Structure 1
Amino acid sequence: MNKRFAYLIIASMILGVMVGWACNQFLDPAQTEEAVKWFKMGTDLFLRLIKMIIAPLVLTTLVAGIAHMEDAAAVGRIGAKTMAWFVSASAVSLLLGLLMVHLLHPGSGLNLTEVASAANAPAASTETFTLQGFLTHLVPASIFDAMAKNEILQIVVFSLFVGTAVASLDNKAPHILEMAEQGAQVMLKVTGFVMKLAPLAIFCALASTIATQGLSMLAVYGKFVLGFYATMGTLWLLLFVAGFLVLGKRVIPLFGVIREPALLAFSTASSEAAYPRILDSLPKIGVRRRIVSFVLPLGYSFNLDGSMLYCTFATMFIMQAHGVHLSVQQQIFMLLLLMVTSKGIAGVPRASLVVIMATLTYFGLPEAWIALVLGVDHLLDMGRSATNVVGNSVAAAVVAKWEGELDEIQPDTEPAKA
């Protein structure tokens, strides 16, 4: 994301707050209601565009990604250790987000009863979410039906079967693989087109919310943003501690060398923008290039710690704001759902929005509720992008240490071993 677009995002946020406040202060209730309808139309169009791309995006990216996983199988031990770290880190990120959102309660007291009542009692719909229903719902009766209904989890299961089948064939089904890869490229491009409308959607979402709730809503957003960054800081500390337990004092130069890539990811709100910098930086502290070139691509698909953290934190914030309460069992299932669905769209701009929307839909809640976090999503995307960079860098160094392929730190003029 270039600076011009980032400035446009910020301008749309400021303008949305100003217009929403003006409507709240100077229009009568009937006029405010009419204005809010137009603002919501802009937000709804953006959300419908996101819904439009969910099914083909998940199907193509996940099939293409799994079909290439024969590289992990080829190196066997390294692949297993890498995936073990990724799954553990993802689980910790998801659980931390859940624990912190319960501790901080950023959405409590908001009580958006008007929206909740219009949603046909969504809290009641979650009561039917049982273990039996969850397991049965995993398998699609028809992939076409699953895609038509945006049943994200069923699409993931189907993609797992197809991707694994392609990878297990001797010739790798080149036409199917090429079609999946090209389909993924096309859908990523479409996603980019849709996300260019983000400033308009942010303006409409903030204007609608402030016009309805008043400037007091800014305090709620402030609590949400500060709560997320406090949670993210806790995750950074956990990553540092985990790195220290494996790497010892080597973790200090590791965090030093990834400072610039993390700052680049933060300023651009894109972890992908920092990818070339990480590839170049990690070998400088002794992580051999073959480890870096293997772990990072997998990490960018399976180990986005910041995004995982945000998914639980934002989803529970939305539910708190609307007075929806999940049982412990339902929350555990939500973590499992987020763990699986988030693997299909890693690296996609604003991927977290797609995952959160799919989660709300799965629980029978209106996907339009995601508009509550849309207005401040860019501020949070900056932090989670930087966290993704830190998480993957630590993972690469840890795997290198486990495999005995972490060399002594060499001067910049001496490249690490390949």
Structure 2
Amino acid sequence: MKSSRMTTYILIAMILGIAAGAAVHGYFPAPATQKLFAGYISIGSMVFLRLIKMIIAPLVFSTLVVGIGHMSDAGAVGRVGGKAMLWFVSASLVSLALGLVLVNLFEPGVGVHKAVSGVSSGIDAHAMTLDGFVKHVFPDSAIRPMVDNEILQIVVFSIFFGIACAAMGKKSHVVLEGIEGLSHIILRVTGYVMKLAPLAVFCAMAATIATNGTGILLNYAKFMGEFYFGLVCLWLILIAVGFLLLGPSIARLVSLVREPFLLAFSTASSEAAYPKMLEQLAKFPISRTISSFVLPLGYSFNLDGTMMYCTFASVFIAQAYDIPLTLGMQIAMLLTLMLTSKGVAGVPRASLVVIAATLSQFSLPEEGLLLILGIDTFLDMGRSATNVIGNSLATAVVAKWEGLLVADEETRDMIEEMEVEPA
């Protein structure tokens, strides 16, 4: 019931935010006034996102260490991680291929006839070089990733820490109990923060529509409509595969992730939905041992919505500049994106960085990013929501493969922690 009420509140907040933003955009046509309003109203969403980022690092660290530390041996960690990566790679290939097929089918960039003018997009095309990628994955400090919210680096450190705890057996029990206590405290804090979600959604939508207006949705209706059609197709494919592997219970999983789905969509942030996803997956029920391990990995390696967008946008830009791409070039682009897009969690405007690097590698005009920069926030909403579906399904499938699609004692404790009303 609580989840249903929160979902309703979020939907109402989205509608009211759009209406408020449209009213401001219509009654105050001066861009300076619109920008001033957006600056003030977006403070609400900024506070919420900052609070979410505040708990992400300790939440990922504590849940991941406890999950790995309670596994019987390092072999179990490798087995679960291997199954998760198998799913991640397969889902990424499907997402990239679907984006490639649909952009060639719809040809949204044909007829734009843009000419190269030499204008810079402002996106660093070299942000995902091999050297940069390695530095982004492996931390040189145990503390700095926590401060900078580098999820992938936190995951790497937590895996090593958790494996060490599992290898030490009883000697590490005191440490694991302390970290487990920390995870319950952070989950309680999460419950408090999530009560601000409807306010954050209202502020985010009002600020976006006030500055851009609903007209931007109409101007890019073709590109956005076709991209969202592709996302819906991807959702159906993922749910269909989930039905084959999980059976009719997939309907319950979809129902449970409805709230984090809407939260990610309205705030255009997958991070905002992470704590709620952890709670909802526990209700499925999925053993905390699995969810606390697979879900953080998925945030770095299983960004299905981002995958599809990368191929869709890259080929769209080539079409807009009338640059033909052979089938071989497009397949090479797909494989390149498969590699360069891994581990982009935490990189600001990650998909744009990956696309910029890809455009540079295939001699496509980087300034083409300006064609999609204006509506990237609206597209990011769909990408973030899709990542919620993909990671939830991946966690459930890995739990099914491991025979842990049941609530263990820790999972039940976590549900009780989240459902206790604040004093």
In the superposition, the TM-score normalised over structure 2's length comes to 0.61
Which 5+ residue runs of structure 2 have no aligned equivalent? 262-275, 322-331, 357-368, 405-423
Indicate the RMSD between aligned Cα atoms, in angstroms: 5.1
**CA–CA distance in 2 between the matches of 1:334 and 1:4?**
38
Q: Which position in structure 2 is the counterpart of 1:101?
A: 99
- Where does 1:166-245 land on structure 2 (aligned, <5 Å)? 166-169=165-168, 170-172=171-173, 173=175, 177=179, 180-181=182-183, 184-185=186-187, 188-189=190-191, 192=194, 195-196=197-198, 197-210=200-213, 213=216, 215-239=218-242, 243=245
1:337 and 2:332 aligned: no
Aligned residues of 1:108 and 1:320 also touching (Cα < 8 A): no
Cα–Cα, structure 1 residues 93 and 107, in superposed 2: closer, same or farther, change >3 Å?
farther
What residue number does 2:125 align with? 126
Letter in 2 for 1:132: D
- What SS does the corresponding residue of 1:127 show, helix, strand or coil? coil
Structure 1 position 46, deviation (Å): 6.0
Displacement, 1:330?
6.0
**How many residues are aligned here?**
351
Counterparts of 1:127 and 1:331, CA distance in 2? 14
Q: Partner amino acid for 1:234?
A: I
**Residues 77-107 of structure 1: per-residue CA shift (max 9 Å, x gap):** 6654433222211222233223333333499
Q: Deviations over 1:184-230 (max 9, x none)?
A: 43663575266341221022213323367363244443333221111
- Name the CA shift for 1:213/1:293 in 2 (closer, same or farther; >3 Å): closer
Provide the C-alpha distance between the structure 2 equivalents of 1:293 and 1:142, rounded to a whole number of angstroms: 27
Correspondence list, 1:358-377, <5 A: 359=350, 372=375, 375=378
Name the CA shift for 1:373/1:16 in 2 (closer, same or farther; >3 Å).
farther
The reply on whether 1:255 has 2:250 as its aligned counterpart is no
- On the 8 A contact 2:66/2:176 being kept in 1, the answer is no
Confirm or deny: 8 A CA contact 1:6 1:268 kept in the other structure. Answer: no
Q: Could you say what secondary structure the match of 1:12 adopts?
A: helix
Work out the CA distance in 2 between the residues paired with 1:394 and 1:40.
41
Conserved 8 A contact 2:71-2:289: no
Cα distance change on mapping 1:91 and 1:82 into 2, 3 Å: same
1-structure distance, mates of 2:399, 2:157: 30
Paired amino acid for 1:308: L
State the percentage of identical aligned residues.
14
Q: Unaligned stretches of 5+ in structure 1?
A: 244-253, 280-290, 342-354, 402-418
SS of residue matched to 2:126: helix
| Counterpart residue number, 1:135 | 134
